[in-house]
Chains A and B, each alone.
Chain A
Amino acid sequence: MDALLLTLKLAFFSTVILIIIATPLAWFLAHNTFKGKFLLEAIIALPLVLPPTVLGFYLLIALGPNGPGGFIAQLWGDRTLAFSFSGLLIGSVIYSLPFVVQPLQNGFSLIGKKPLEVAYTLNASFKDAWRTIIFPLAKPAYISAATLGFAHTLGEFGVVLMIGGNIPGETQVISIKIFEQVEALQYQDAHVLSAILLGLSFLMLTAIYATRKSANKTGML
């Protein structure tokens, strides 16, 4: 059960961080054209095509004692960020970034800048306008983004294997645990965990498609 809890915790925190990072990023990409925009978009999309092991390998080096991760870890006396929950979190955030940025960017593009500007002219401040106009309008996009980000982190394997190792309670997530169980020929246990992951993933995707459909009906997306 440790692995399941850890996986959920990882997915939850990754999603929260991702939503916070992706909101300004997606808004910026949706409403600005600038030189080299394609470059930024390509970088964000990289995890979509890159083999997770490649991403994991670079992350391992970056998080290791000789990379920036090691430098940061020294601040609290650790040698490396790799093989720790924080390292895993950083890896997951990078790995799942495109899955959160893209639905938000599409949503923001559809909404456009106009509703925000109209709200301004009606005496609503920046915060007020985001709270009362943009977030409600972008709700379907946020549901898609959060669910995709969460689900994708849930299924993460390659990156975790590379940078997380297999420390129970610290970095051993459910996908790694299943792999281990199969290696050890404990099919019974692997069945249980796989079924849980399958059910969770299916549930979340159903939720996305259901909200998308109702959003279309009310013309919000």
Chain B
Amino acid sequence: MNLELTFSLKKGRFQLNANTQIHWQQPSTHVIFGKSGIGKSHLLRCICGLENPTGVISWHEDHNHVHWLDSERRMNMACHLRPVTMVFQDNQLFSHLNVEENLRFAFDRATANEHDWQHCIDALKLRDLLSHQVQQLSGGQAQRVALARAILSKPKLLILDEPLASLDWQSKQDVMDYIKRLNHEWQLPVLYVTHDIHEVLTLADQVIMLHDKNAMTQVQTPRPLIDILQDENHPFYGLGKSSILIAHNTQHQQDGLLHCQVGEQLMRLPIAQISDKGASLSSKEHTHPTNLKTVAEENKLRLCIAANDVSLALSEAKDSSIVNTLQGKVSRIEQTTSGQYLIQLKVDDQYLLSEISAYSFKRLNIEMWQPLFAQIKGVALQRCR
């Protein structure tokens, strides 16, 4: 699947330029990232057909090539004909319809069948809410209904416009769990817009940055998240102060631990620990054992590790409570604005970030390419394809 965006939108003094291809190898999540007010929503509205830019927007899928917009040929497909559905920040459920009627609104205008309906209601745990008025729903519930409504309209591309922005922390985790499953469970390619770095780290497969210069916003080419985090020229470098490791050979062990490998090195992830610690980035996976199982069955895991959860040692500690130690070499040293040091370790062919105090930095006398042991306190577990 491929979305070609070659257009510009002018609104007063604001201008948005896009000249890029967004490609989905398989259903995956591309995150559009940019600060508030940069024009992220305008970009989405252009894709949906709610704005009228000049240029070309086209969608390729299985040798089918459909132009949604082609200004030269004076062609602009109406929004309701484009196979895109958007979930908005503030759920935007129809207030004169109850939950079921809201869902039926989408269902009746799409090719979804009864099986899709039942599956969607069950997967998003909406059965008990069907007869509720939308005003009775909590923020998280409403966003779940909005998500279900979007799924039931059977789009070829699902766009989520900061769907978590107006939710409290607990609802955020809850809704995030469902968003993570969109690619896999509904085979939906997703464009996800956010200005929250944690959401990027949790969800993104590819990242599309928006940059502005003199009120002109430029849409940049998508790049894999893992690349970006390791690119010191990229603004994300060290920004989330988290690193992402891809672990493979995942196995559930008899002792209840999850074993996996980073390069040649073994990691043991006590599931309870993962979940507790992972709460800040991942979610309460332990309440969704099925979710975890799917992840494990794919045999690859994305480990999201906060830099301040990684401490460094000159030798491997045998008498520590910390289970996971990875050996690597210092590949970059950087002093952060807060006076801490951010050390990048090269672990096989992957990178791990550690944040340590200036005092520790001096005491360990860290130099480039020095071998070190990274002790990892907490790991957040993500799905990975």
Contacts and interface: CB of A to CB of B under 8 A. Distances in A.
Contact of A123 (B50, B80, B133): B80
B95 A124 contact: no
Interface in A115-145: 115, 117-126, 128-129, 132-133, 136-137
A219 interface: yes
Interface residues of B, number: 24
A114 interface: yes
Interface in B74-108: 78-81, 84-86, 88, 92, 94-96, 105-106
A123 B48 CA distance: 11
A121 B109 contact: no
A120 B153 CA distance: 11
A220 interface: yes
A121 B79 contact: yes
Interface in B212-269: none
Given A114-B88, A132-B105, A219-B135, A120 B80 contact: yes
A107 to B, nearest CB: 13
Contacts of B92: 114-115, 118
A218 to B, nearest CB: 8
A142 to B, nearest CB: 13
B165 interface: no
B88 A120 contact: no
B88 A123 contact: no
A126 to B, nearest CB: 8
B163 interface: no
A121 B96 contact: no
B80 A124 contact: yes
Contacts, number: 66
Nearest to A132: B105
Contacts of B88: 114, 118
Contacts of A121: 48, 50, 79-80, 84-86, 153
A120 B96 contact: no
Contacts of B133: 218
A210 B150 CA distance: 36
B149 interface: yes
Contacts of A136: 96
A125 B81 CA distance: 8
Contacts of A117: 50, 79
Contacts of A122: 80, 85, 105-106, 109-110, 149-150, 153
Contacts of A129: 80
A136 B153 CA distance: 21
Interface in A189-212: none
Nearest to B93: A118
Contacts of B50: 117, 120-121
Contacts of A126: 78, 80
A217 to B, nearest CB: 10
Interface string B42-53: 000000111000
Contacts of B150: 122
Interface string A86-124: 000000000000000000000000000011011111111
A58 to B, nearest CB: 38
Interface string B38-74: 0000000000111000000000000000000000000
Contacts of B110: 122-123
Contacts of A119: 80, 94, 105
B109 A123 contact: yes
Nearest to A113: B50
Nearest to B91: A118
Nearest to B83: A123
Nearest to B50: A117
B94 A124 contact: no
Contacts of B94: 115, 118-119, 133, 137
B236 to A, nearest CB: 30
A218 B78 CA distance: 33
Contacts of A137: 94-96
A120 B105 CA distance: 11
By CB atoms of chain B within 10 A, which of A115, A117, A133, A219 has the most? A117
Nearest to A117: B50
6 contacts: A120-B50, A122-B153, A125-B78, A126-B78, A219-B95, A219-B135
Interface of B: 48-50, 78-81, 84-86, 88, 92, 94-96, 105-106, 109-110, 133, 135, 149-150, 153
Given A120-B50, A123-B80, 4 more contacts: A119-B94, A121-B50, A124-B105, A125-B80
